[in-house]
Amino acid sequence: MIKKKMFIDGKWVDSLSGKTIQIVDPGKNEAIAEVPLGDREDARRAIAAARKAFDEGEWKNTTPTERGRMVSMLGDLVEKHRQELAELESLDTGKTVTESLWDMDDIAGIFRYYGELADKDSGEIIASPVPNSSSMVVHEPVGVCGQISPWNYPLLQASWKMAPALAAGCTIIMKPSEITPLTTIRITELAQEAGFPRGVVNMVTGPGYTAGAELSENHDVDLISFTGGIETGRKIIKAASGNVKKLALELGGKNPNIIFEDADFDTAADYVLNGVFFHAGQICSAGARVMVHSSLHDRLVKFLVDRIGRIKVGYGFDKDTQMGPLISRDHLEKVEKYVGIGQQEGARLEIGGARPDPAKYPELQKGFYFMPTLFTGCTNDMKIVQEEIFGPVITIEKFETEDEAVRRANDTVYGLSAGFWTRDPDRIGRVSKALKFGTVWINDFNVYFTQAPWGGYKQSGIGRELGKTGLEEYMEIKHIYQNYDTKPLNWFGK
């Protein structure tokens, strides 16, 4: 059993209450670790340390180049411990080790990207409209940042927040999901090795409704960066209003994947599977909502039923596993509930829709496994089409015209990402402009990289992570104006 602590003000500590949380391997439903159950008071101690380090410590006198070097070093440390971190992530989340290794490569790149960007910002000189004056714009770190992350990509999501915040010169309190804290604990150990001064990096393990809520409400926190569900996002917006914190929110998505009649069918159909079944569909940008032109519908369904029937569901550490378990029993029950709703709504269950059959998969009965699932006959007024199921469930809708496809794709409260498949250059121009999503993929799906911004339109979030914008989220903008010709104006009371 792994036993770990929280990191506050440069020290590894237990929770003040002495209570702990058990961390479970979702592939076997066995306890693998014990971490402190931090609550509001633990979060307050971490906030006080981060405040002191920001206001008084040596951190505020580090140059951007020195900060960049430390952030880049974290990238090197992630690469050095790539295998160990990937295995820890798979143990904690259930995803295949291959997927976790991809995550670690991305994460090393994220730290290096922001490390290199740290000293490239040169502000701006403005052509002042006032004679004998100068005007310049400088960027300064926002301050103390609370960073709350979800369970689906624990270290990847933490790194999207940690790397730019530290490169910008902020101090941070990370709060990983209480379900999957292990790799965030490990990266905090590596941050210690990289040499960040005391109080700059803090990490509290504990539930959202106590530790997370304190970070969102506390007036000594200047910015809250949150990735998670939309309902939690709403609570955080309210909690952050007390001191009008800066907010960066990455919320859910229900992402249409549209196949037009002139698509390269074989590639598009294959990508329907890639778009959904990585990490058992527990991806904010999963292309779970497939929309297909009626002329290709039957061919697509036949193709998908055949391929879905051959997906190898299993334990994330087994070499031939293609899809691992869901994260928890609660989440498994939520996905099952949606399958029931889909059937009540009149959608047709083509394949899957259940836990693995005990006769066929006796080894998968303890973990939180769910078979890949396909619904056809779906319409955009159905709950299974509109709501985020966050599991291995595809819904298929038919359409006749381009206008209809775009109108229906946009008919969602979410706006994270969308993709479409066509060979027509004019259609590419029209449809990419018409779709109201933060990312639009053409002839591809689920591609993101560090250099380009990521985030949502509408209720999928506020602000952007990644790219240069991801760094700007952690910067205040200051205009500095100087008058070179000081003399009285003699305007009032003369």
Number of residues that bind ligand NAD (CB under 6 A): 32
User: Judged by CB, which is closer to ligand NAD: 149, or 422?
Assistant: 149
Q: Considering only CA atoms, which of 246, 311, 236, 238 is closest in space to residue 273?
A: 311
Report whether 149 contacts 175 (CB < 8 A).
yes
240 binds ligand NAD (CB under 6 A): no
148 binds ligand NAD (CB under 6 A): yes
Pairing of β 223-227 and β 144-148: parallel
The 3-state DSSP composition of the chain as helix, strand, coil percent (nearest 5) reads: 40, 20, 35
The tokens describing 70, both together, are 């430390």
> 284, 350, 388, 402: which one is catalytic?
284
Amino acid in the structure at residue 62: T
Amino acid in the structure at residue 173: I
250 binds ligand NAD (CB under 6 A): yes
User: Judged by CB, which is closer to ligand NAD: 202, or 376?
Assistant: 202
151 binds ligand NAD (CB under 6 A): yes
227 binds ligand NAD (CB under 6 A): yes
User: Judged by CB, which is closer to ligand NAD: 184, or 376?
Assistant: 184
Interface pattern 454-493 for ligand NAD (x via CB under 6 A): --x----x--------------------------------
Establish whether 189 is a catalytic residue: no
| Residues 398, 401, 402, 407, CA torsion sign | negative
446 binds ligand NAD (CB under 6 A): no
Per DSSP, the three-state class of 201 is strand
Distance between CA atoms of residues 431 and 433, nearest Å: 5
> 89, 178, 217, 250: which one is catalytic?
250
The tokens describing 111, both together, are 């730290």
User: Judged by CB, which is closer to ligand NAD: 187, or 284?
Assistant: 284
Report whether 8 contacts 202 (CB < 8 A).
yes
User: Judged by CB, which is closer to ligand NAD: 96, or 285?
Assistant: 285
Establish whether 284 is a catalytic residue: yes
255 binds ligand NAD (CB under 6 A): no
Q: What are the residues whose beta carbons fall under 8 Å from the beta carbon of 367, sequence distance 6 or more?
A: 25, 26, 27, 28, 29, 94, 315, 325
3-state secondary structure 33-69: EEEECCCHHHHHHHHHHHHHHHHCCHHHHCCHHHHHH
Per DSSP, the three-state class of 171 is strand
235 binds ligand NAD (CB under 6 A): yes
Per DSSP, the three-state class of 439 is strand
368-427: contacts with ligand NAD (CB under 6 A): 388, 390, 416
Distance between CA atoms of residues 347 and 397, nearest Å: 10
User: Judged by CB, which is closer to ligand NAD: 380, or 460?
Assistant: 460
253 binds ligand NAD (CB under 6 A): yes
207 binds ligand NAD (CB under 6 A): yes
Find the part of the chain contacting ligand NAD (CB under 6 A) among 36-44, 250-258, 301-309, 395-403: 250-258
152 binds ligand NAD (CB under 6 A): yes
Side-by-side strand order, sheet with 289-293: 348-351, 373-376, 393-399, 289-293, 256-259, 417-421, 439-442
R_g over Cα of the chain: 24
Least distance between ligand NAD and beta carbon 95 (Å): 13
Find the part of the chain contacting ligand NAD (CB under 6 A) among 67-75, 127-135, 248-256, 336-344: 248-256
Least distance between ligand NAD and beta carbon 433 (Å): 22
Helix axes 154-168, 82-93, angle to 10 degrees: 130
Least distance between ligand NAD and beta carbon 280 (Å): 13
Least distance between ligand NAD and beta carbon 124 (Å): 29
Tokens 């609550």: give the residue: 39
User: Judged by CB, which is closer to ligand NAD: 135, or 386?
Assistant: 386
- Interacting residue with ligand NAD among 62, 232, 255, 321 (CB under 6 A): 232
| List of residues contacting ligand NAD (CB under 6 A) | 148-153, 157, 175, 177-178, 207-209, 212-213, 216, 227-229, 232, 235-236, 250-253, 284, 388, 390, 416, 456, 461
By annotation, the residues acting in catalysis are: 250, 284
